[in-house]
Structure 1
């Protein structure tokens, strides 16, 4: 998507050899117009699939997932949490995800109330690097017996190989 490429060239920063910093428009401060256009692009790319729910991981994927959901007819968005709140008492699916940028392992969870075998899931995230978050979300979807219909990331760091997995 040219609009996103142009914005990365204009405002993105490369830190070292592996980090692309886009916090001024995507994952700290959000350019709502850009995120809406990214959501529109995802909606167009996955329009022919029987998607009924979007899944992401907190927190940077939420804005993109919501924008995509709006352009797909206001689908529900579910996000995997990095900690179980006291209010989640009805059971949950969980898996471990390693965060490249935070150098931490998280146990991410989704309430069993929000994923089921009737769901056809589109997974949306801000980055695809090594694929850890993507595979964690796929695992949660499989635990629920739901179908993964597609995956979209705003930025793929192809040199880190996540898209090849």
Structure 2
């Protein structure tokens, strides 16, 4: 998606440790216009009539997933990273290692909101090593739901998470795959 790539080049920052910062428009300060365009691009790739729910992980994926859900009139669920007192009943859970926070995190979804009847589209803003996506896929499998696909705005292709998911047969669409990143030089993978 050229619009997204242009924004990454213009506004993104490459920080030490292979951190690519796009928080000025994607996941801290949010530009709703580009979010709608990203949602529409996912709608061109995935059959949204087959999707019954959109799933993401807390916290930075929530804005994009909510806009996608609103655009296609679907409910949205986000996997929480901490159990709160207001969660009742059983939980689907998956342990992942967060690249951003450098620690183990447990993703949690209340069994009340995801069932074997659901057809799930996972949506997230950013993928590094693919652990959050893997954890969300585990939750979909635990629920007996059907995974329609995974939509990711930005993927760090050089970390291999997306390639591992594709090799496992996942229908993954990333709109901007970064092959390499140095300050002042972000290189994208050619579109499929």
TM over 0.5: yes
| Alignment length (residue pairs) | 164
Distance in 1, Cα, partners of 2:96 & 2:154: 19
1:128-157 deviation per Cα after TM superposition (whole angstroms, max 9, x unaligned)? 211100000000011100011100110010
Judge which range, 132-141 or 23-32, deviates more.
23-32
Determine whether 1:8 maps to 2:11: no
Could you tell me how far apart the structure 2 residues matched to 1:56 and 1:48 are? 16
Identify, as 1 or 2, the structure richer in strand: 2
In the other structure, the counterpart of 1:36 is 36
Partner of 1:145 in structure 2?
144
| Structure 2 gaps, min length 5 | 165-192
Deviations 1:9-43 (A, max 9, x none): 11000112511101111111101111111111112
Partner of 2:113: 114
Distance 1:44 1:114, change over 3 A: same
TM-score computed with the length of structure 1 as normaliser: 0.95
Q: What 5-or-longer segments of structure 1 have no aligned partner?
A: none
User: What SS does the aligned partner of 1:85 have?
Assistant: coil
1:71 to partner: Cα distance = 2.4
C-alpha separation in 2, matches of 1:151 and 1:49: 15
The normalised TM-score by structure 2 is 0.82
* Cα RMSD (Å): 1.1
